[in-house]
Amino acid sequence: MAGRLVTIMLALLGCAMSLKVQLELDSNLPAAVGPRVAELVAQTGAQLVTSNADVVWSCGNTSYSHLVSADIEKLGPEGYTVRAFLHQSPQLVVAAGRAPTPLPYDRHYAQVAGRGDAYACYAALQMAGFAFLHPLTPIVPESLNVSAIANTSSSPRWPLRGFHIHTQHPLELTDLLTGFDLTANGTVLETWEAMQPDMALLAEWCLANLQNRYGSGISPNPKSGSSLIEWLPLWARDWGSFALGPIRQGRLLNLTKVVRGFGLHAGADAAIALQQQHAFALVNSTSDLSLAPASIASRMQWLAEAGFDFLSTENGFSEFTHPECSLMLDWINITAQQAAANQMTAYIKVHISSGQVCPNYTDPMSGGPINFNYLPIFADDRMGVMPHTVQYYNYEDPANTYGNVNFTSMFDFLFYALETNRSVVYHPETAYWINYDSSVPLFLPIYAYGRVSDLRFIKAHEQRVNKTMAGQMDFDSGWEWGYWLQDVITARSAWDVCGPADGCASDQDALAKALTPVVQPFGSAAEDLRQLLLRFIKDQRELLIFGNYSGAVLPTDDTGYVKLNGQAYMQGWDPYSEIPAIVDPIDSVQPVKLGFDAIWMGEEPDYWTKVCR
């Protein structure tokens, strides 16, 4: 009996000592933000009260926001400020921000106008101990550390920031995002409705990491901004009436509403005529080309009715094949027109593959026949472009993949496009998947270095020419094996990356700074973890990209790394990757290696003296 009494007394004492928090939440916050903030604060053990609080926590335009009005006036669109008044009773936290600039096509602007306030509120939460690292597993502190909240203000450099969830791969949310129950051999393991809460977690993660999920304005004004989440709805003929039916469309509509509930925009990656991996193609048949305009119009309307705010699309039939160039350009223009008719912004991916040209179209950069992937530069100005690089390489690394030796040509295109009247969104990757980096469990924070390095390179060019791209949309292929780490760093860097004028003289300095939100939850071990990750990433670059583990002098020409880099031998071996590379090296989607047949036949007898350097 005495033991039970002690237990009850301790419990009552704990209740009496818990922090009392009074939340003052702007009614114009994105719909899901206020209730979620209250839920998170309560999960720390704090009592939510309406008076006699220890801490008053204000988010958005409230009776306390006048205290930061001078700070808010200095912010750009979507910027935020947090101020903590800790030497008073009750303590006061004021978080507020600026609204985003409406996009040229922004049907749901009223639902996302409070995004800057939401950024501020989540910034304060993270300073108080919350962390949003893995998209499906937010970290909740045991108690709110209000004393750790520091005064801060920030505005984004790039207005468009987001992630493309590549649902053509079997990822954590592929079934949910494509509107299907999770099944195995015909047995439903989890219903679509049961999975839906994961959508809110993903949207919250994007918001907390300062995303606005995929590019916005096609306008020449780069200050138009938006927060979005993009994925591929997918389509297959054998899905029958379900593929374009009301049940699936209703499920997608529910998902897009969840996204906007966190102040973000939702986008669909719907290819124009891509014929691979269950792509949701706007041209549903290439056997009768006269039907293409009506097909594009019909499917664009279906996506708009599913609540999608914007479209990103794909060029060609695949990465390596395409229709006649003038026909493709016609389809691109029709897609831009139909997107506008449905009040949706549109972008098209510009792939890194090589070996395809349009003989009748002159490349304005080189004067020769244009690379087919660059064809959209001649399209309707309302079609923005997304220059796309693959895998973990940065702008200058030796990258012998997709027929390239490096990716400098794609950055030449990006910088050329900046000089036009077209919106430009950089489209790199934090995971490639397929054989390249998923065949065995691989921890590859090397991706983070590439993304930070690229943004620093782009920022430096922008400062020289006084032009700014619209932003960045990262290609995301899941979060296993710690891939969330490079996603967090990539997301934060797309807000603004640390350059020389900001105190980061090198890419390594910028990466060290970008690691802060990743290591911060580890408390006293944070700095040790930061240094460990920096060393690990440096070693990965030396071994996987340059094939160097001994400090030897390396080749000065990027072609010198062919068959001599660690990535070529770490990645998976698969007929779908190996055979096309043998038939035509341009079709190789990953670095080529010295095969067993070449070793057996003695084609390169001195190979081991080259690789063991």
Q: What is the CATH number of the domain that holds 195?
A: 3.20.20.80
Q: Are residues 221 and 237 in the same domain?
A: yes
In order, the DSSP letters of 118-177 are: HHHHHHHHHHTT-EEEETTEEE--SS--GGG---EEE--SSSEEEEEE-TTS--TTHHHH
Answer yes or no: is 592 within a domain.
no
Answer yes or no: is 582 within a domain.
no
Alpha-carbon gap, residue 191 to 249, rounded angstroms: 16
Nearest residue to 563 via CA among 587, 536, 599: 599
**Contacts for 31 with CB less than 8 Å, ≥ 6 apart:** 111, 260, 261
- Joined together, the tokens standing for residue 195 give 């999975």
pLDDT tens column, 200-226: 999 999 999 987 643 222 222 333 345
* pLDDT grade for 607, boundaries at 50, 70 and 90: low
pLDDT(243) > 70:
yes
For the beta carbon of residue 12, count every other beta carbon within 10 angstroms: 10
Q: Are residues 121 and 196 in the same domain?
A: no
Answer yes or no: is 140 within a domain.
yes
pLDDT(103) > 90:
no
Q: Are residues 150 and 165 in the same domain?
A: no
Nearest residue to 392 via CA among 350, 454, 349: 454
Here the CATH number for the domain that contains residue 89 is 3.30.379
SS (H, E, C) 225-262: CEEEEEECCCCCHHHHHHCCCHHHHHHHHHHHHHHHHC
Q: Are residues 62 and 149 in the same domain?
A: yes
Reduced to 3 states (helix: H, G, I; strand: E, B; else coil), residue 199 is helix
Answer yes or no: is 261 within a domain.
yes
Reduced to 3 states (helix: H, G, I; strand: E, B; else coil), residue 102 is coil
Rounded (5°) CA angle 398-403-409: 65
> Cα separations (Å) of 458 from 223, 362, 392, 394, 514?
17, 26, 16, 11, 17
Q: Are residues 95 and 213 in the same domain?
A: no
Q: Are residues 137 and 167 in the same domain?
A: no
Nearest residue to 497 via CA among 519, 469, 534: 469
Place of tokens 């609540």: 307
For the stretch 115-132, what's the b/e string if a residue is b when 16 or more beta carbons lie within 10 angstroms of its beta carbon? Answer: bbbbbbbbbbbbbbbbbb
Answer yes or no: is 478 within a domain.
yes
Give the pairing type, strands 131-134 and 80-85: unpaired
Would you state the pLDDT for residue 515?
A: 97
Would you state the pLDDT for residue 224?
A: 39
H-run or E-run covering 516: helix 516-519
H-run or E-run covering 82: strand 80-85
- Which parts of 262-324 fold into alpha helices (H)? 292-305
Cβ atoms of 430 and 444 within 8 Å: the answer is no
Q: Are residues 97 and 195 in the same domain?
A: no
Nearest residue to 208 via CA among 142, 115, 141: 115
> Cα separations (Å) of 599 from 494, 556, 571, 575, 602?
45, 26, 18, 19, 5
Q: Which range (489-493, 496-500, 604-608) has the least confidence?
A: 604-608
Residue-range definition of the domain harbouring residue 30:
20-154
pLDDT(23) > 70:
yes
Q: Are residues 142 and 164 in the same domain?
A: no
Q: Of 476, 498, 519, which one is at a domain's C-terminal end?
A: 519
Alpha-carbon gap, residue 559 to 178, rounded angstroms: 41
Would you state the pLDDT for residue 480?
A: 85
Which comes out higher in pLDDT, residue 603 or 200?
200
Question: What percent of the chain clears pLDDT 90, i.e. is strictly above it?
Answer: 77
pLDDT(34) > 70:
yes
Write down the mean pLDDT value for the chain: 90
Alpha-carbon gap, residue 133 to 485, rounded angstroms: 7
Cβ atoms of 492 and 156 within 8 Å: the answer is no
- Joined together, the tokens standing for residue 572 give 């998976």
Cβ atoms of 372 and 325 within 8 Å: the answer is yes
Cβ atoms of 18 and 46 within 8 Å: the answer is yes
pLDDT tens column, 324-352: 999 999 999 999 999 999 999 999 999 99
Residue 47 class from Cβ within 10 Å (0-12 exposed, 13-18 middle, 19+ buried)? middle
Place of tokens 């070693």: 539
Reduced to 3 states (helix: H, G, I; strand: E, B; else coil), residue 22 is strand
Would you state the pLDDT for residue 39?
A: 98
Place of tokens 């045991």: 142
Would you state the pLDDT for residue 408?
A: 97
Q: Of 519, 549, 583, which one is at a domain's C-terminal end?
A: 519
Q: Are residues 335 and 464 in the same domain?
A: yes
Answer yes or no: is 120 within a domain.
yes
Would you state the pLDDT for residue 7?
A: 40
In order, the DSSP letters of 309-345 are: -EEEE--SSSSS----HHHHHHHHHHHHHHHHHTT-E
Nearest residue to 270 via CA among 239, 300, 297: 300
Mean pLDDT confidence for 307-332: 95
Alpha-carbon gap, residue 57 to 55, rounded angstroms: 6
Cα 392 vs. chain centroid, distance in angstroms?
14
Q: Which range (373-377, 495-499, 607-611) has the least confidence?
A: 607-611
Q: Are residues 135 and 174 in the same domain?
A: no
Reduced to 3 states (helix: H, G, I; strand: E, B; else coil), residue 1 is coil
pLDDT(227) > 90:
no
pLDDT tens column, 506-561: 999 999 999 999 999 999 999 999 999 999 999 999 999 998 877 777 788 888 88
Mean pLDDT confidence for 574-600: 77
Would you state the pLDDT for residue 431?
A: 93
Q: Of 154, 189, 211, which one is at a domain's C-terminal end?
A: 154
Q: How many domains are there within the chain?
A: 2
pLDDT(9) > 80:
no
For the beta carbon of residue 54, count every other beta carbon within 10 angstroms: 17
* pLDDT grade for 423, boundaries at 50, 70 and 90: very high
Would you state the pLDDT for residue 40?
A: 98
Would you state the pLDDT for residue 589?
A: 87
Place of tokens 């389509």: 235
Question: What percent of the chain clears pLDDT 70, i.e. is strictly above it?
Answer: 91
Alpha-carbon gap, residue 561 to 554, rounded angstroms: 9
Q: Which residues pair with 165 in a beta bridge?
A: 231, 476
Cβ atoms of 207 and 262 within 8 Å: the answer is yes
Q: Are residues 335 and 467 in the same domain?
A: yes
Which comes out higher in pLDDT, residue 287 or 587?
587
Reduced to 3 states (helix: H, G, I; strand: E, B; else coil), residue 65 is helix
* pLDDT grade for 440, boundaries at 50, 70 and 90: low
Nearest residue to 229 via CA among 250, 247, 205: 205
Q: Are residues 50 and 199 in the same domain?
A: no
pLDDT tens column, 188-200: 999 999 999 999 9
Reduced to 3 states (helix: H, G, I; strand: E, B; else coil), residue 319 is coil
Answer yes or no: is 547 within a domain.
no
Q: Which range (8-12, 125-129, 136-140, 341-345) has the least confidence?
A: 8-12
For the beta carbon of residue 253, count every other beta carbon within 10 angstroms: 17
Mean pLDDT confidence for 16-35: 93
Would you state the pLDDT for residue 611?
A: 58
Would you state the pLDDT for residue 466?
A: 96
pTM as predicted: 0.93
Q: Which residues pair with 125 in a beta bridge?
A: none
Answer yes or no: is 131 within a domain.
yes
> Cα separations (Å) of 440 from 135, 238, 373, 558, 583?
22, 32, 32, 27, 26
Would you state the pLDDT for residue 598?
A: 72
Would you state the pLDDT for residue 608?
A: 59
* pLDDT grade for 587, boundaries at 50, 70 and 90: confident
Give the pairing type, strands 369-371 and 383-387: unpaired
Helix axes 115-127, 197-208, angle to 10 degrees: 80
